[in-house]
A = this chain, B = another copy of it.
Amino acid sequence: MPLDYPDSFRELVRQFRRLPGIGPRSAERIALWVLRSRDAKPEQLVSAISWAHEKLTMCRLCGFFAEQEECPLCLDEGRSGRELCVVESPTDILPLERTGVFRGRYHSLGGKLSPLDGIGPEQLRIAELIERIGEERPSEVILALGVDVEGEATSHYLAEMLAPTGVHVTRIAQGLPAGGGVEHADQITLHRALANRGVYGQR
């Protein structure tokens, strides 16, 4: 039998490999670090996972992280209910929030349509979105989803689903990112940047 790692090491590597974005070499490196490094303190990782599982939940309304039934965003009476910004993931909310230009409310879908991964409309918080629109009656729903194939399909699906509610549906702009040169931009981005051009000084 060829030499291999002991079972307990292989299991540790296998568990780290399951994390998103971790390949076989990274998993080995992390496992080794957890075992060997003087400051690895893996018990802290273990207790952070347990703590998060015990305390953390998703806000019943918007799907952001919360340690009680509703999150600070939804509990904040100072925020406008007129604009509702729809995002894929709860981790999309803080980057948008940090721009400082949006003071409305958010709604995280908890993912995007991805039939190959078994994620259809029922797996996303779309029914909840429609219910919120009926109750909160925002004047605008802003779709802030990704520009990949699944993000686009999700935006398209939502626009169709929301049409009967009569709410004004917009989406965030697509174009050249800050710091991005025309030379290095892909064709689709350039196509959209051109198609969405505006009068200089106004956009």
Contacts and interface: CB of A to CB of B under 8 A. Distances in A.
A91 B28 contact: yes
Given A52-B9, A89-B32, A15 B45 contact: yes
Interface in A53-68: 53-56, 65-67
A48 interface: yes
Contact of A91 (B21, B32, B45, B48): B32
A51 to B, nearest CB: 5
Name A's interface SS.
helix
A122 to B, nearest CB: 13
A87 interface: no
Name, among A19, A45, A93, the residue most crowded by chain B CB atoms within 10 Å (CB to CB). Answer: A19
Nearest to A98: B2
B11 A52 contact: yes
Interface string A36-48: 1000101011101
Contact of A5 (B22, B48, B49, B65): B65
17 contacts: A2-B97, A6-B56, A6-B67, A7-B67, A8-B55, A9-B65, A18-B40, A18-B44, A19-B45, A20-B29, A20-B30, A21-B26, A32-B91, A34-B52, A35-B56, A42-B53, A46-B49
Interface of A: 2-9, 11-12, 14-16, 18-22, 26, 28-36, 40, 42, 44-46, 48-56, 65-67, 72-73, 89-91, 93-94, 97-98, 110
